[in-house]
Chain A
Amino acid sequence: MRSIGVDIGSAATKCALWDGNDIICCITPTGWTPKESAEAAVVMIKEKAGIAPDAPGISVTATGYGRNVFPADKRVTEISCHAAGARFLVPEVGMVLDIGGQDSKVISLHPDGRVADFIMNDKCAAGTGRFLQNMAVHLGCTLSDFCSIPEGTVMQPINSMCTVFAESEVIGLLAHGIAKEPICAGLLDSVAQKAVTMISRAGGSGDICFTGGCAQNGMLRALIEEKTGRRVISHALSQYAGAIGAALIGAK
């Protein structure tokens, strides 16, 4: 059975198609209208897979914060979807760290992959992709610049976790003539620290599958690994974990 999963996040809408053997993914910015972005993503994935737009027998499962605005066959929370998606990408992993556009979460899994517990930060932008995005505005750089900080950059510690206070701190540091790269490194460290706090609250000692948009950042991954002493695995399709999980759950 073919099944589509659409993960309507605050920044990007991710879509995955599962045909029983393989996964195909695509992504589009969520913009102002989550419903239209999700519809566009479904059209896009069908095109990519060479499926007719009105082909019958394909279920659509929605997840993410926009899941309730989209007419899907099934709606599942991002917790269950990220868990299922992460286990697909990294089999047997016992913990998932997801850092997305507006929230971050740590999910502990039972050995069989079911969700055992979860911790969520969705009340505050600290420690999320939004935090980095806001800072990028002040630094006059893009999110991808956070992925290309030269090796050996000495980090400038950022003391404020709060997005609003960190903004003033960054502006102050720039005024003192501190270069952008050390500030970027400091900001990544701040996001890593927030993640590590959640990970240690959740406990455990095994490998961690890192998902969500921020999982693409190698330095962030390395910082979390260093601080926790645990292996942090990200996958080329990490950003699509929620959508993949939704497609897999929809196929059940």
Chain B
Amino acid sequence: MRRHHGRELKEEITIRNCVEKIDELFEKMREGVRNAPVAVKELKEAGRPIVGIYCTFTPWELINAAGGIPVSLCSTSEKPIAAAEQHLPRNLCPLIKSSYGFALTDTCPYFHFCDIVIGETTCDGKKKMYELLNALRPTHVMQLPQTTEHAKSLELWKHEVIKLKEVLEERFGASITDEKLTSAIKLKNSINAAALRFYDLAALPDPVVSGKEIMLVSDYIKFTFDYEEAIANVNALTDSLLDAYKSGLRRVSASKRILITGCPMGKSLEKVVDAIEAPENSAVVVGFENCGNLKCTHYKVREDIAPLDAITEKYLSIPCSVMSPNNERIELIRHYIKKYRADGVADVILQACHTYNVESHSVRTALASDGIPYIAVETDYSQGDVGQLATRFGAFAEML
């Protein structure tokens, strides 16, 4: 009896200590994201090259090996869209319009400080937008193959990776050696490993964190430029969450587990997570099979082959809807449904994103054959459809 009581007391103390630590770390991360513009300004003033990026396809390791700081540029707010529409058509995906609008109005601090932008031909809209963006800031566009299945695709992509290496070397007077690349690969792999270890908390039987908290950690990793500190903090958070969980703490009470897939998420799309995680739904987002989340952390850069080959291979394996066919995406979704015990999948599609919109049918069909409930919502960065999202996700949760 006494021993039992002692154990309970010990668990209670563990939980209390962990909760304190968890709150502290989340707060530190929020602050980190808030202060990111200042951090970039200081790096710029210290003479570090700032390289603006938009997409998961950009080989981070090359920029790092060139001594540059890869920074994700603003692209997920409705605010600059009206300005962007001075040059871009209305019926274009909001991500493209927002990216361009931020640049045009000089309201993205990261764009403001960046020396060069790296883009990829991930869709027709982006590819043409980059032509215009080049007038505002030097923009290097990597030509992405449209399939991974042709023998020549890897060759083409390697050519593009080498070209980017040359562009960076020339622009920043750097020499990207194999040695530097190898250590950049190691560093990025360990950042991704820390991220994945945190995401993998969703493999536990009960939910550990909310979808909103997953988004926060993703953002923190994206906007922390002291990489070792980011790794340490994410690992510390995961440790505390695990300890608290093992001691019996259940921070999130939700019985229905949703995996999100589709277009890149961001600040304006938090409305989707809010609609899913509304208290009356008893639902929680257990993972994001999106760019910037599982889609990039799931695939490691090999450390046992020539670094340029390893980088080429990893980035080409990202299952983006621009690839045709893109069966690997469905396999990745299936993998995380199983691993994260998802009860249903929500496909978040941005208006006028043709590739994800068309692919929705294939995902729906594949998941139907697995007996997994699926819902697709088409949305943009405005907050006008919050009520409609609430009804859709409410009904979806009731269905599960």
Contact = CB atoms under 8 A, between A and B. Distances in A.
Contacts of B373: 117
B16 to A, nearest CB: 35
Chain B interface main SS type: helix
Contact of B398 (A115, A117, A123): A115
B388 A77 contact: no
Interface string B338-363: 00000000000000000000000000
A87 B395 CA distance: 17
Contact of B388 (A114, A115, A117, A123): A123
Nearest to B384: A123
Contact of B395 (A65, A68, A80, A123): A80
Interface in B349-400: 373, 385, 387-388, 390-392, 394-395, 398-399
A76 B391 CA distance: 9
Contacts of A122: 388, 391
Nearest to A74: B280
Interface in B20-50: none
A120 B373 CA distance: 16
Interface string A65-87: 10010000001111110000000
A118 interface: yes
B392 to A, nearest CB: 7
Contacts of A114: 399
A80 B394 CA distance: 9
B215 to A, nearest CB: 24
Given A114-B399, A115-B399, A123-B385, A79 B391 contact: yes
B399 A120 contact: no
B392 A120 contact: yes
Chain A interface main SS type: mixed
Given A114-B399, A115-B398, A115-B399, A77 B385 contact: no
B387 A77 contact: no
B368 to A, nearest CB: 9
Contacts of B395: 77-80, 115, 118
A34 B201 CA distance: 43
A76 B387 contact: no
A65 B398 contact: no
Contacts of B390: 68
A193 to B, nearest CB: 21
Nearest to B397: A77
A65 B394 CA distance: 12
Contacts of B392: 120
Contacts of A77: 391, 394-395, 398
Interface in A75-110: 75-80
Interface in A104-135: 114-118, 120, 122-123
Contacts of A117: 373, 399
A79 B387 contact: no
A85 B399 CA distance: 15
Contact of A65 (B280, B387, B399): B387
B385 A76 contact: no
8 residue pairs, one from A and one from B, having the closest CB atoms: A79-B395, A77-B395, A77-B394, A80-B398, A115-B399, A122-B388, A77-B391, A77-B398
7 contacts: A65-B387, A65-B391, A77-B398, A80-B395, A115-B399, A118-B395, A122-B388
Given A78-B395, A114-B399, A122-B391, 16 more contacts: A65-B387, A75-B280, A76-B398, A77-B394, A77-B398, A78-B391, A79-B391, A79-B395, A79-B398, A79-B399, A117-B373, A117-B399, A118-B395, A120-B391, A122-B388, A123-B388
